[in-house]
Every structure is written in structure tokens, then in C-alpha cells.
């Protein structure tokens, strides 16, 4: 009997060693992939529009940027004791595996379960596209590429993390999960994943988006989720907010408070979120890992990588795999996060510990923040209306390893319209921030006479956001600015821990 157990353990360790060696070998190959592949593909892809990978090329592991950051992010803290949290401290709220991934600062590569990779095959690998039509419309020498995450069944990148998080809950024997959603893209993704793994899901959808985007609500309900407009009367947090401000149209911070409260008060239930935290960013790195191979197929390497920014999932997914080459000194790529002018946490927020939700239910997170009680304007990019940035992105921004720009709403819709007319894809309002930033950089390249290579993530399509386009075409949209005094008032009471 002891001999059998011993041999089983030997086999288990052997498998782990083999997986580790595969990752080491893959990393070694990646250091030279572009030099080799550029020569291989340069001639054949001179006029190519799309660059496609096969299913077998879906990444086998996610990239954990924290393991290689020059300065690791500060830990999350217990709000009562101000002591750093452990993975076990998160077990009551999140699945155990998501909690362990959240706190993993040592492993550069984290294996993707086969069940997750099998479901990824429904839409992954996603195309890398050369935006030749947009280049022509701008008359720019820049080469513009975009990773098209809009091809997923729910029309956005959010499914990349919804699938593993639902899988981990199912493996643990959880029966119910809760979440928040802004524009509805995350809620739609988790609704599909929850149904696939047999979980019951309750989604708190920011009230303004609940009414602005009824078809996203319909998608969630079609997949079997219960959708509640937030703030609601179904939670203590929601009732207090409504009592204090009856006309409040909600925010992601409010919806998170309600989802966390329901999860903590429901038996065998966990909270699942779609942005901000490290394990979510980890799952999204499949985007950039695929894009690395596809840029090599195109025979180019990006000078600039751009993603829109709300809490960080989409920006992290496209950027982190390329960023590791900057860490090693091999490359000097610029990374630009494009956020709304009306919610400028990266460009104008303060770096301090703050709650991830409005009611103060979450741990304290080191973040660039506008204050957890910040009430963002009712812009149509509902997925970007969040008061803070995740701890990893906040640290990278503080260390000047990335940049950020804030973009007015009207500029984003002008960029979206140009992109739709030149490339044929109507982008989500959130993704339009990345397009606007890419257009800015392409214009700069033209002025300087430089042939820059620009890569951005098209995080989702806008076919369920046409009411926003209707308002833009009719001239009914406006820009919203945040005053310095508003930022000061919303952040002045934060405890000065940093």
C-alpha cells in the first residue's frame, strides 16, 4: 500500500516537473520568437489582414506579472487590524483557488486547467487584425493592429476570466455565485460560464446601465441569471444608499457592495468579480500571449500597446505579456491605459489604500483612487465607471512602467465612428477609448514622420450599445469633467497608510 502511494506521489511530482520544464522551454523560445518568426513570415504577410492561430496554440498557462515586477504591489489589508491578508483570509468570499492565485507572487506561469482550455476553444484563439482601413483613413505611416476580443459568444474579453472562476467554484462544490456588472459585458460572460458549470447566479447591474442597455440584461436572463438593478432594496448596502440619495443611478462600487453582501449572507455562495484584482488580470493574459505569437506572424513588434481602462482586466490582458520583455531589458515598448475623462483615477487619483466598494465591505486595496464614494457621471462606457485601479496596475503606474491618458466621451465616439466606417466593426463604448488613444498616437507618428507599430485591444463590440450611437449621431451626448475640488473632497478622508 505504501509503495503504491509512493509511486503515485512520484508520478504527481514528475508531471509537475514536466509542466515546469515546458514553461521554462516556452519562455526561452519566446525570448527569440520574434527574430525567428519575422524572417519566416515577412514575405508571406506583406498584405495580410488577419493573423490566426490554431486551437492547439491556445496558451497552456497564464502569465503572472507580479512574479517579475521590479517592485511588487503592496498587500491588501484587513480594514480592522491593518494587517496583510493571506489567501485563507479570502476563502469566505472567493473560491479557494482564485484566492491562492490572488496572493501568488512567486510563480511566473500558472497552469490553465484542461476544462477551461476546452471551453476557450469555443472562441479562442481570437484574431489579430491589421487595421489597414483605419491607417488609410488617418493617412498615417503607423502600422495599427488590434486584437479582436469581440468574437467571443458574449461579444467581449470578459469570458476569459468568467470561465476559470466559475470552474473553480464548481470544483469546490459551490452552488451559488454573485457578481456586479457595469455595462453588462461581465455579467453576460459570467451568466454563460455559470450555466455551463451548473451554478446559480445573481447579478447586480449598475442602475443607469440596467436602463441604458436592456438587451445586455436580456442576454444575462437568457443564460439563466437573475439581474437586479443596483442600488436595490434587496441588501442593507443598497437600502442605505437609496435612503441617502433616492435618485442615485449607481456605480460599480455600489454594485460590488451589494454582490458581496449577498454572497456573505447566502449558504454555499461565493462572490466572483470581473476586474481590479490580480487573479482576474492573470486570466486575461491569454490575450497578450496569443498576440505575441500573432505579431511575430505579422513580422513586427509593437512600439505602443494600448487598452481601455476601468479596473484593469482588459489593459492587463493585452499589456502584461509584452511588459515582461521590458522588465528583462529586451524591449522598450510604451504601455498606455485609456480611461474616461469623467473617471480619471490613473491620471488624477491619489495612491492610497481604499475600499474596492462603496459600502466598505472589501479589504483595503493599495490603489490609485478617486475615493470609494466617488459618483461617476452617467457616461455610456459603463464598464469604465469605477473609482480605483487594481494594485498591480497602480504600482506599475507609480513606477513609471506604463502611462495613462483620459479621453472625453465625444472624442471616443468620434474615434468609434471612424473605426466602424473604416474597419466595419462597431466597437463598444469602452473599447472606443483605446481606439481614440491609438488614433492620437497614429497622428503623432504622422507628424513626426515615424512608422510606429501600434497594438490595441478591441475588448468588445458595440452592437448592443446602439442607443448610445443614436444619441451621439443626434448630438445629444456631452463631455463630463471632474474638478480638482471634487477629487480632493472624495479623497481627503482616506486614512494615510501609504
pLDDT on residue 354: 98
Phi, psi of 283 (to 5 degrees): -60, -30
> 267 is written with which cell numbers?
449558504
How far apart are alpha carbons 69 and 401 in whole angstroms?
10
How far apart are alpha carbons 337 and 334 in whole angstroms?
10
Q: Cβ(458)–Cβ(434) under 8 Å?
A: yes
How far apart are alpha carbons 442 and 165 in whole angstroms?
37
Q: Cβ(412)–Cβ(429) under 8 Å?
A: yes
Look at the pTM and tell me if it is higher than 0.75: yes
pLDDT on residue 45: 64
pLDDT on residue 348: 97
Q: Which residues of the chain have pLDDT under 50?
A: 1-21, 23-44
Looking only at Cα atoms, what is the longest distance across the chain? Answer: 77
Burial of 272 (0-12, 13-18, 19+ CB in 10 A): buried
Q: Cβ(300)–Cβ(143) under 8 Å?
A: yes
Q: From the CB of residue 418, how many other CB atoms can be counted at a distance below 10 Å?
A: 18
> 481 is written with which cell numbers?
469633467
For residue 224, give the DSSP letter: T
Give the CA distances from residue 167 to residues 25, 113, 200, 288, in Å, rounded to whole numbers and listed in that order.
28, 9, 13, 22
pLDDT on residue 287: 98
Residue whose cell numbers read 469566505: 92
Amino acid at each position: 500500500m505504501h509503495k503504491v502511494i509512493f509511486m503515485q506521489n512520484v508520478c504527481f511530482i514528475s508531471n509537475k516537473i514536466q509542466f515546469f520544464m515546458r514553461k521554462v522551454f516556452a519562455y526561452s523560445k519566446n525570448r527569440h520568437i520574434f527574430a525567428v518568426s519575422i524572417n519566416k513570415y515577412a514575405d508571406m504577410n506583406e498584405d495580410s489582414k488577419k493573423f490566426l492561430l490554431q486551437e492547439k496554440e491556445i496558451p497552456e498557462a497564464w502569465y503572472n506579472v507580479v512574479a517579475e515586477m521590479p517592485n511588487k504591489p503592496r498587500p491588501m489589508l484587513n480594514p480592522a487590524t491593518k494587517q496583510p491578508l493571506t489567501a485563507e483570509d479570502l476563502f469566505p468570499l472567493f473560491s479557494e483557488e482564485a484566492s491562492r492565485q490572488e496572493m501568488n507572487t512567486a510563480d511566473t506561469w500558472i497552469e490553465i486547467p484542461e476544462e477551461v482550455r476546452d471551453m476557450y476553444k469555443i472562441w479562442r484563439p481570437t484574431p489579430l487584425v491589421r487595421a489597414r482601413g483605419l491607417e488609410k483613413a488617418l493617412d498615417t505611416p503607423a502600422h495599427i493592429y488590434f486584437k479582436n476580443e469581440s468574437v467571443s459568444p458574449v461579444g467581449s474579453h470578459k469570458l476569459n476570466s468568467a470561465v476559470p472562476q466559475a470552474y473553480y467554484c464548481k470544483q469546490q462544490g459551490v452552488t451559488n455565485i454573485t457578481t456586479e456588472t457595469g455595462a453588462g459585458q461581465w455579467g453576460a460572460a459570467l451568466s454563460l460560464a455559470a450555466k455551463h458549470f451548473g451554478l446559480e447566479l445573481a447579478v447586480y447591474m449598475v442602475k443607469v446601465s440596467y436602463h441604458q442597455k436592456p438587451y445586455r440584461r436580456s442576454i444575462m436572463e437568457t443564460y439563466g441569471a437573475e439581474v437586479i438593478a443596483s442600488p436595490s432594496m434587496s441588501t442593507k448596502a443598497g437600502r442605505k444608499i437609496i435612503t441617502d440619495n433616492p435618485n442615485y443611478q449607481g456605480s460599480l462600487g455600489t454594485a460590488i457592495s451589494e454582490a458581496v453582501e449577498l454572497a456573505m449572507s447566502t449558504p454555499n455562495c461565493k462572490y466572483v468579480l470581473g476586474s481590479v484584482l490580480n487573479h482576474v488580470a492573470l486570466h486575461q493574459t491569454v490575450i497578450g500571449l496569443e498576440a505575441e505569437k500573432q505579431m511575430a506572424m505579422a513580422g513586427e513588434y509593437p512600439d505602443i500597446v494600448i487598452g481601455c481602462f476601468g479596473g484593469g482586466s482588459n489593459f492587463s490582458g493585452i499589456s502584461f505579456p509584452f511588459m515582461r520583455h521590458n522588465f528583462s531589458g529586451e524591449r522598450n515598448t510604451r504601455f498606455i491605459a485609456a480611461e474616461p475623462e469623467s473617471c480619471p483615477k490613473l491620471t488624477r487619483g491619489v495612491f492610497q489604500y481604499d475600499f474596492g466598494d462603496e459600502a466598505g465591505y472589501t479589504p483595503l486595496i493599495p490603489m490609485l483612487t478617486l475615493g470609494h464614494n466617488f459618483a461617476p457621471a452617467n457616461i455610456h462606457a459603463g464598464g469604465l465607471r469605477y473609482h480605483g485601479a487594481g494594485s498591480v496596475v497602480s504600482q506599475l503606474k507609480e513606477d513609471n512602467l506604463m502611462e495613462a491618458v483620459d479621453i472625453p466621451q465625444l472624442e471616443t465616439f468620434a474615434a468609434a465612428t471612424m473605426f466602424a466606417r473604416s474597419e466595419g466593426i462597431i466597437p463598444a463604448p469602452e473599447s472606443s477609448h483605446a481606439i481614440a488613444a491609438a488614433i492620437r498616437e497614429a497622428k503623432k507618428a504622422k507628424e513626426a514622420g515615424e512608422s510606429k507599430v501600434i497594438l490595441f485591444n478591441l475588448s468588445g463590440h458595440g452592437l448592443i450599445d446602439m442607443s448610445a450611437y443614436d444619441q451621439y449621431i443626434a448630438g445629444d451626448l456631452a463631455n463630463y469633467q471632474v474638478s480638482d475640488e471634487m477629487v480632493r473632497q472624495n479623497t481627503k478622508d482616506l486614512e494615510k497608510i501609504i
